[in-house]
């Protein structure tokens, strides 16, 4: 979807998916789905965006105090 329409068509999608990884109260399945969606969006955006988002937004969450947020990071790394 992102590859076909371009990220400009869905400007809030990537930030929303990242926010889903941080949210408490989501099930593991919802967090997994957000991680898979985020991975698809990142891959469609190119390696420069992948590197930037992983370094700036995703990997710092690996030390987050919330276990569910850390789980979200693991899901992104799995996909």
DSSP 41-59: HHHHH-HHHHHHHIIIIIG
Instruction: Read off the pTM.
Output: 0.87
Q: What does the pLDDT profile of the chain (79 residues) look like in tens digits?
A: 566 666 666 779 999 999 999 999 999 999 999 999 999 999 988 899 999 999 999 999 999 999 999 999 999 999 9
What is the C-alpha to C-alpha distance for residues 63 and 46, in angstroms, rounded to an integer? 26
Res 6: pLDDT: 64
What is the C-alpha to C-alpha distance for residues 59 and 53, in angstroms, rounded to an integer? 9
Res 10: pLDDT: 73
Distances (CA, A) of 21 to 1, 4, 6, 49: 20, 25, 22, 18
Res 4: pLDDT: 61
């Amino acid at each position: 979807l992102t590859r076909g329409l371009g990220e400009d068509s869905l400007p809030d999608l990537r930030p929303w998916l990242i926010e889903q990884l941080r949210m408490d109260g989501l099930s593991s399945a919802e967090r997994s789905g957000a991680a898979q969606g985020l991975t698809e969006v990142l891959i469609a955006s190119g390696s420069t965006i992948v590197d930037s988002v992983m370094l700036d937004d995703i990997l710092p969450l690996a030390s987050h105090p919330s276990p569910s947020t850390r789980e979200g990071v693991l899901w992104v790394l799995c996909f």
